[in-house]
Chains A and B, each alone.
Chain A
Amino acid sequence: MDHGEKGGGLRGWLERRYQLATLIEFLSHKQVPLGSHWMGWYYLGGITMFFFVVQVITGVLLLMYYQPGEATAYESIRFLTTKVPFGWLIRSIHSWSAHLMIVSLTLHMFSTMMLKAYRPPRELTWVSGYILFLLTLGFGFSGYLLPWNKLAYFATTVGTNIVASVPLLGDWLLQVLRGGPDVTVNTLYRFFAAHVVILPLAFVGLIGSHLLFIQRQGMALPLGAKVAPRGMKFFPSFALRDLLLWLACLMVLVSLAVFLPYGPGIPGMDWELGDKADPMAPAYPGIKPEWYFLWEYQLLKEFPPHLFGLEGPQVCLFLIAILFGIWAIIPWLDRRAARGQASPAFSDLGWAAILFLTYLTLAGWDIGAGGAGSDLASMPKVARVSAWWTLMAGMVVIVFRFWRYEHRYFVLTLAALLQVGLHGFFGVSYLMAGVFSIAAAAFAAATLRLLRSGTAGGGGP
């Protein structure tokens, strides 16, 4: 009899019903391919998921006290953090975990991009991951308003205002987003609904697809390899390592939540409750979004009020949409990687994107303004100091890539640095510097291509 063969106890009881041995057997045969690159990159997806689980758990606990509403949202969070035992800890962990989730997710996305793990047949894994990234930003944006405090109110007013620049549909979109012409309690209700129902449902569904794709296709082999040079058993070796890392993350998370309950004190990464939102109060100067939206905020500032007969913010939104679009279809653009060949231009694109975001984020932080904020007088100094730091980082990146990864293609990285340099040190407007750098990069890429085809032709029979 089957029942007798599978032993007693809980394990046997479960085995008789669910045939767990088959699953463990399957998992123990599953291999994680190891290659020329650091294995650490493989854990970032798991870490992101760990933070998401923390978000779900702490979010549910917050929900037990949070009451959306004009007269209750702020008060309930205040009550939770001051009177409810460990309420402060739950809110602090939720906030820290949100920021750390975005950090790990961004690293996960860039590592996938650099390792070309998006190449066929894993295009949909990339796309689903990319949508998960956008949803995470949506979580950040919607959750920010929920405490209904002054900072969140004005930041949301400024943030939602951006959609008004969308041609034709702008006003309608703004109404839909805010539930009316202004940020009111209706906005709070719909942000609440989005934060705790709509986005989680979409997120869980997409994570399911993302994991299913990985499960079906396995992890991507190192570029150019037909068979993994080495491998690691998924179970128990990789899974237990994952668990170890999650515990380490938990340790860090709890420590941060206890010692820095309102964040590290960096602008855009601060969640002290402060005063209650007052729609009648004047908006105070220097309102900035969270750190992960800072680059868009700064890019909007770099645009003139009018460009090509359109409003500056409209053109900027169009540009941002194009950049996001390009990022989404990278698996189809990178045809060399699809053929299993090295694609240095796309590695370089990844690094150029990082430097592009670095400069805008630093400038958005008013690095170098000496606390003067983003007034007109300090803008050239902010541009200079931010450019200096970006150039330094860029140089380190180039040297490191040249030495460690033997990269030889730096056209896009250099173009990004050229733009920053022209703007920061020579006072050329950010957009003009960008146009000049793109033209220089196109010229350099075309020249390199010509030289290569010339060399190939000369070397032929």
Chain B
Amino acid sequence: MLTAKDENGKPIITPEQQTYFDGLNDNLKEMLNRAVEKETISRPEHLSILLGLQLRPQKMELVLQNNCILCHSDSANHSADTLFSVAPVAGAKPSHMNLKEIVEDVHFRHGVSCAGCHGGDPAADLGHAHVKEWPEKDREKNRAWVVQFCARCHSDPATMHDFNPALPTDQLAKFKDSPHGHRLLDQHDDRAPSCVSCHGVHGIRPAKDPQSKVYAQRVPETCGACHANPETMAGSKRADGSPLPTTQLAEFRTSVHGKALLQRGDLGAPACNDCHGNHGAVPPGVASVSRSCSLCHSANASLFDGSKHKIAFDQHGWAECSKCHGNHAIQKTHDQMLAAGPGALCTDCHRQFSKDNPNCEATAEYFHQTITRMDAAKNDLMAVSEKLAAKGLDTDPINNQLTELADTLKKTRTYVHSFSRNTFQQVALPGEEAARQANALVNKAREDYKYRQIWLAASIAAIGLLMGALYLKLRQLEK
């Protein structure tokens, strides 16, 4: 079979496939031989497809033990809807019948194989007896059965312990309580997602696999497949009855979190599930917004919790962080947010809700002035330090002060969330002192440079005098 040729006389098994075959261990070669003898591999074209997968030995062993795959990968036995092909035509149904995908599936790799879901006996020559939970008809009409079907194993700690003891088994319970679960299970809405909507069907991979549909960087796209689609989301409403928007994905992509996750590849940045949850996905309520944000921004959150604003926000019923920073389209903060005047965050809000409290505006003004003053000092001193370094002066002490200044600046920007002048002032003081010290050191370095020039001038004068004397002596001698 390895030497068979097509009608044009070209070998059906390519040289790469032949090399792969030659490299297989004796056990796998024996298994291949048996499959050929039993005619589960009956044609060189079929063998070529299997060898062309270039699978690692462990995976090839799983494939060769599995008569379901052997039979369903031979185009002579099956039509397109039940055939696993290596490269199915893009868009052709069913898209999950990709042989390359199924061999990567985490279930397949752990030996669950086809029979785990579909029933039958993969070692038998022929068998199509489905497990009893497998619906005989209308499988695609209502997907509610899928969650129960997956939960047969995934909600059973004993079963899951054999495969992955670290994997939680509460997915179904969470899902049932989530808006997704209500829609699918209680309202029987076909648009609501089931397990396969997010995890896929035959190519399911662990969440930490970069190719998984639920890998952190792919989560926005996976959620957006429904939430950014106005057709799917038509009729969906928020808790207050307003229509659910479909702009979240686009907004997230422009946000500071989206740029960090999707452009810089920073896996520490949040995806949808980090704020909304996954199997129990739910929009954070007023009370829980700050809890979500504080998972990462703990310092800001704890300062806010002890501030006057906490009480005021609770009284107004405002979600804490998102009131000022927004949610999906959250942008990098900037010092202008603290500025006084129309369009500035603090002033606008205070003029509307705290008209009789001029101190608040003055505090915001103080925050803004202190931070911008330190920022300007840092930038100016850095530029000066670079120039002094280029002149060969020792700028290490200046740079040490600038590091202190930069650290303090970062801290003061956080301490804005205390909304307390005194607390903020205590944090800002070392920074202002560092700026003063750096300024003094810059002046000292400039003085040093002046001394260098004076010493140089003196040296040049001395050398010049010596040269003059020599010249005169030479003239005298040569007369």
A243 & B470 in contact (Cβ 8 Å cutoff): yes
Q: Which of B143-151, B311-319, B388-396, B408-416 contacts A (4 or more CB under 8 A)?
A: B388-396
- Given the complex, which residues of A lie within 8 Å of B467, measured CB to CB? 244, 247-248, 251
Interface status of B24 (Cβ within 8 A of chain A): no
A82-B396, A254-B460, A258-B456 given as contacts; is B471 within 8 A of A244 (CB)? yes
What's the Cα separation between A241 and B391 when bound, in Å? Answer: 34
A240 & B474 in contact (Cβ 8 Å cutoff): yes
Interface status of A236 (Cβ within 8 A of chain B): yes
Interface of A, secondary structure class, is helix
Interface status of A131 (Cβ within 8 A of chain B): no
Nearest A residue to B397 via CB reads A82
A240 & B470 in contact (Cβ 8 Å cutoff): yes
Residues of A participating in the B interface, judged by any CB pair closer than 8 Å:
81-83, 88, 92, 236-237, 240-241, 243-244, 247-248, 250-251, 254-255, 258, 261-262
A236-B474, A258-B453 given as contacts; is B460 within 8 A of A251 (CB)? yes
8 more A-B residue pairs beyond the given contacts A237-B477, A254-B456, with a C-beta to C-beta distance below 8 A? A240-B473, A244-B467, A247-B463, A250-B463, A251-B459, A254-B459, A261-B391, A261-B392
Query: Closest 3 A-B residue pairs measured CB to CB?
Result: A261-B392, A82-B394, A258-B456
- Given the complex, which residues of B lie within 8 Å of A247, measured CB to CB? 463, 466-467, 470
Interface status of B452 (Cβ within 8 A of chain A): yes
What's the Cα separation between A92 and B459 when bound, in Å? Answer: 16
A–B Cβ pairs within 8 angstroms, 9 of them? A83-B394, A88-B392, A92-B392, A240-B470, A240-B474, A244-B471, A247-B470, A251-B459, A254-B456
What's the Cα separation between A420 and B466 when bound, in Å? Answer: 48
A237 & B463 in contact (Cβ 8 Å cutoff): no
What's the Cα separation between A83 and B397 when bound, in Å? Answer: 11
- Given the complex, which residues of B lie within 8 Å of A237, measured CB to CB? 474, 477-478
Interface status of B464 (Cβ within 8 A of chain A): yes
Nearest A residue to B452 via CB reads A258
Q: Mark B242-259, 1 if CB is under 8 A from A, else 0.
A: 000000000000000000
What's the Cα separation between A250 and B456 when bound, in Å? Answer: 11
Residue in A244, A254, A255, A262 whose CB lies within 8 Å of B470: A244
B156-204 contacts to A (CB < 8 Å): none
What's the Cα separation between A47 and B470 when bound, in Å? Answer: 17
What's the Cα separation between A244 and B469 when bound, in Å? Answer: 10
- Given the complex, which residues of B lie within 8 Å of A241, measured CB to CB? 474
A240-B474, A244-B470 given as contacts; is B456 within 8 A of A255 (CB)? yes
A240 & B477 in contact (Cβ 8 Å cutoff): yes
> Chain B's nearest CB lies how many Å from the CB of A295?
29
What's the Cα separation between A81 and B477 when bound, in Å? Answer: 44
What's the Cα separation between A254 and B463 when bound, in Å? Answer: 11
What's the Cα separation between A260 and B477 when bound, in Å? Answer: 38
Residues of B in contact (CB 8 Å), total 20
Residue in A236, A251, A262 whose CB lies within 8 Å of B463: A251
Interface of B, secondary structure class, is helix
Nearest A residue to B455 via CB reads A258
> Chain A's nearest CB lies how many Å from the CB of B140?
52
What's the Cα separation between A138 and B460 when bound, in Å? Answer: 32
B417-465 contacts to A (CB < 8 Å): 452-453, 456, 459-460, 463-464
B357-399 contacts to A (CB < 8 Å): 390-392, 394, 396
What's the Cα separation between A188 and B332 when bound, in Å? Answer: 47
A255 & B460 in contact (Cβ 8 Å cutoff): yes
- Given the complex, which residues of A lie within 8 Å of B477, measured CB to CB? 236-237, 240
> Chain A's nearest CB lies how many Å from the CB of B453?
7
Residues of B participating in the A interface, judged by any CB pair closer than 8 Å:
390-392, 394, 396, 452-453, 456, 459-460, 463-464, 466-467, 470-471, 473-474, 477-478
A244 & B474 in contact (Cβ 8 Å cutoff): yes
B390 & A262 in contact (Cβ 8 Å cutoff): yes
> Chain B's nearest CB lies how many Å from the CB of A253?
10
What's the Cα separation between A243 and B471 when bound, in Å? Answer: 10
> Chain A's nearest CB lies how many Å from the CB of B192?
49
Nearest B residue to A232 via CB reads B478
> Chain A's nearest CB lies how many Å from the CB of B477?
5
What's the Cα separation between A237 and B471 when bound, in Å? Answer: 10
B392, B459, B466, B467, most chain A CB atoms within 10 A: B392
Nearest A residue to B392 via CB reads A261
- Given the complex, which residues of B lie within 8 Å of A88, measured CB to CB? 392, 394
- Given the complex, which residues of A lie within 8 Å of B459, measured CB to CB? 251, 254
- Given the complex, which residues of B lie within 8 Å of A261, measured CB to CB? 391-392
- Given the complex, which residues of A lie within 8 Å of B473, measured CB to CB? 240
- Given the complex, which residues of A lie within 8 Å of B463, measured CB to CB? 247, 250-251, 254
> Chain A's nearest CB lies how many Å from the CB of B450?
12
- Given the complex, which residues of B lie within 8 Å of A262, measured CB to CB? 390, 392
Nearest B residue to A87 via CB reads B394
> Chain A's nearest CB lies how many Å from the CB of B386?
12
- Given the complex, which residues of B lie within 8 Å of A251, measured CB to CB? 459-460, 463-464, 467
Nearest B residue to A261 via CB reads B392
What's the Cα separation between A258 and B458 when bound, in Å? Answer: 13
A82, A83, A241, most chain B CB atoms within 10 A: A82
What's the Cα separation between A254 and B467 when bound, in Å? Answer: 15
Nearest A residue to B473 via CB reads A240
> Chain B's nearest CB lies how many Å from the CB of A28?
11
What's the Cα separation between A83 and B395 when bound, in Å? Answer: 11
What's the Cα separation between A220 and B132 when bound, in Å? Answer: 111
A236, A241, A247, A254, most chain B CB atoms within 10 A: A247
What's the Cα separation between A250 and B464 when bound, in Å? Answer: 10
Nearest A residue to B477 via CB reads A236
What's the Cα separation between A248 and B470 when bound, in Å? Answer: 12
Nearest A residue to B467 via CB reads A247
- Given the complex, which residues of B lie within 8 Å of A81, measured CB to CB? 392, 394
> Chain A's nearest CB lies how many Å from the CB of B73?
44
What's the Cα separation between A83 and B471 when bound, in Å? Answer: 39
- Given the complex, which residues of B lie within 8 Å of A243, measured CB to CB? 470
What's the Cα separation between A438 and B392 when bound, in Å? Answer: 48
What's the Cα separation between A288 and B463 when bound, in Å? Answer: 37
Nearest A residue to B396 via CB reads A82
> Chain A's nearest CB lies how many Å from the CB of B457?
10
Nearest A residue to B390 via CB reads A262
What's the Cα separation between A10 and B473 when bound, in Å? Answer: 22
> Chain A's nearest CB lies how many Å from the CB of B44?
42
> Chain A's nearest CB lies how many Å from the CB of B288?
45
- Given the complex, which residues of A lie within 8 Å of B452, measured CB to CB? 258
- Given the complex, which residues of A lie within 8 Å of B464, measured CB to CB? 251
> Chain B's nearest CB lies how many Å from the CB of A2?
28
- Given the complex, which residues of A lie within 8 Å of B391, measured CB to CB? 261
> Chain A's nearest CB lies how many Å from the CB of B236?
50
- Given the complex, which residues of A lie within 8 Å of B471, measured CB to CB? 244
> Chain B's nearest CB lies how many Å from the CB of A270?
11
What's the Cα separation between A240 and B472 when bound, in Å? Answer: 11
- Given the complex, which residues of A lie within 8 Å of B396, measured CB to CB? 82
